[in-house]
Amino acid sequence: MDIVVIGSLEPLVVALQTAGYTVVGPTVKDVAVRMAEISSAADLPADVGDTQRPGNYRLTERGDGMVFGFAASPDSAKRFTQPPRQTLARMRGRTFEEPREEAPRVALLGLRACDLAAIAVQDRVFLGRHPDPAYRRRREALFLIAVNCAVPGGTCFCVSMGTGPKATTGFDLALTELAAPHRFTVEIGSDRGAQIAAAIPHRPATPDDLAAAEEVSRVAATRMGRRVDTEDIQRWLPAAHDSPRWADVASRCLSCTNCTMVCPTCFCSTVEDGTGLTGDVAERTERWDSCFSLAFTELSGQPPVRSSALARYRQWLTHKFATWYDQFGTSGCVGCGRCITWCPTGIDVTEELAALRGGTEGTSCIR
């Protein structure tokens, strides 16, 4: 794989814009890093760091001018691969129209290895047994620029999930930010990536550049805040369905749905129906849904299947880490830590899994 070095991000942003992409990257909005359109590299959050703990997120000032010196933000690529709302179909008179809007050409700048892994998970969901053409169009219109993590967050555990901290696949370009002098190595991951790289001022990477970049990822891997023991998890987790730990965690869970909203792989949705004011067009709109909502398993005339918070939390965690394998041949978790950081009561999936695994002796196996 080709690796070059650039001294500044501005030419990259300009080259992407010239190629017709809207460039979306990390920006500071309110009190968090959010993915938003940037018009120049100056919009990127230089000198911003973060601290992340269960239920806690704070921005900090780094003092070293690094541009990507923070960990996973509440935004992932999900909003772009699976929009929070999308029109599925329209009925006009007696005919149906499939909306075939052209997918916006967006360059996502600053995705982390876990974010790329999450896109690969969503690919399996939406391009699997019934491939979704709208997803495919959006996906193909995305240009993915990864940044290798230098400072993992306190809630990250990508190393134990096998997804990071270094981006190894699934990107067009992957940057590693280096200090003294401030520069970026750029790894080229696709033909499109090579074209953009060719259009900006760069020099070949020296052995020193490459060694420095490797060192960033090596150190990052040793600084993971958390880990999950995934050994045999597909078997033991569903089998732990009657563990007393579920009632314990359910007593702390508010069913607020935050974890599912920030999770970059959670894909569940529901559909809303409506007719316009004039009544001649009826529309079907898909929007994000959450397995924590009571209506998720409603059956008319009966109580919802998962009426208790216990059952809903158990469904979420078991699906993420175990039954996702049965359905999509992969873990549903990529170890980004977002659900831990953004849980208002600080529920930590790594801690829950460790407690559940500790207490699995003697439980029945249901599969």
Partner 1 sequence: MTPVPYRVRSRRPDRADTVTLALEPVTGPCPRFLPGQFTMIYARGVGEIPISISGRGRTGTLLHTIRAVGAVSRALCLARPGDVVGVRGPYGTAFDVAGAAGLDVVVAAGGLGLAPLRTVVRRLIAHRSRYRRISVIVGTRTPMTLMYPRELARWRAAYDLDVQVTVDHPDHAWPGPVGLVTKLIDRIVFEPRRTAAFVCGPEVMMRAAADDLVARGVPARRVALSLERTMKCGVGRCGHCQLGPLLLCLDGPVVDYERAGGLLAVKEL
| From 90-98, 213-221, 293-301, 329-337, span contacting ligand FAD (CB under 6 A) | 293-301
Minimum CB distance to ligand FAD smaller for 296 or for 325: 296
Minimum CB distance to ligand FAD smaller for 254 or for 271: 271
Determine which residue in the list 64, 98, 215, 229 makes contact with partner 1, applying CB under 8 A.
98
Q: Is 305 in the site for ligand SF4 (CB under 6 A)?
A: no
Q: Is 364 in the site for ligand FAD (CB under 6 A)?
A: no
Determine which residue in the list 41, 67, 253, 322 makes contact with ligand SF4, applying CB under 6 A.
253
CB of 300 to ligand FAD, least distance (A): 3
Q: Is 347 in the site for ligand SF4 (CB under 6 A)?
A: yes
- For residues 186 and 93, what is the distance between their CA atoms, to the nearest angstrom? 53
Determine which residue in the list 79, 298, 346, 363 makes contact with ligand FAD, applying CB under 6 A.
298
Q: Is 289 in the site for ligand FAD (CB under 6 A)?
A: no
Determine which residue in the list 259, 291, 322, 353 makes contact with ligand SF4, applying CB under 6 A.
259
Burial (CB count <10 Å: 0-12, 13-18, 19+), residue 10? middle
Upstream peptide bond of 131 is cis (omega within 30 degrees of 0)? no
307 in Cβ contact with 293 (< 8 Å): no
Q: Is 337 in the site for ligand SF4 (CB under 6 A)?
A: yes
Minimum CB distance to ligand SF4 smaller for 5 or for 347: 347
| From 50-58, 280-288, 297-305, 335-343, span contacting ligand FAD (CB under 6 A) | 297-305
Which residue type, as a one-letter code, is found at position 190?
S
Q: Report the site for partner 1 in 237-276 (rule: CB under 8 A).
A: 238, 241-242, 267-271, 273-275
Minimum CB distance to partner 1 smaller for 169 or for 275: 275
Minimum CB distance to ligand FAD smaller for 244 or for 301: 301
- For residues 78 and 92, what is the distance between their CA atoms, to the nearest angstrom? 30
Minimum CB distance to ligand FAD smaller for 298 or for 351: 298
* Per-position x/- string for 338-367, each x denoting binding to partner 1 as judged by CB under 8 A, each - no binding: ----------------------------xx
CB of 202 to partner 1, least distance (A): 41
Determine which residue in the list 94, 299, 361, 364 makes contact with ligand FAD, applying CB under 6 A.
299
**Residues lying near partner 1 in the complex (CB under 8 A):** 88-89, 91, 94-98, 125-126, 128-130, 132, 134, 238, 241-242, 267-271, 273-275, 282, 284, 286, 289, 291, 296-301, 305-308, 310-311, 315, 318-319, 323, 326-327, 366-367
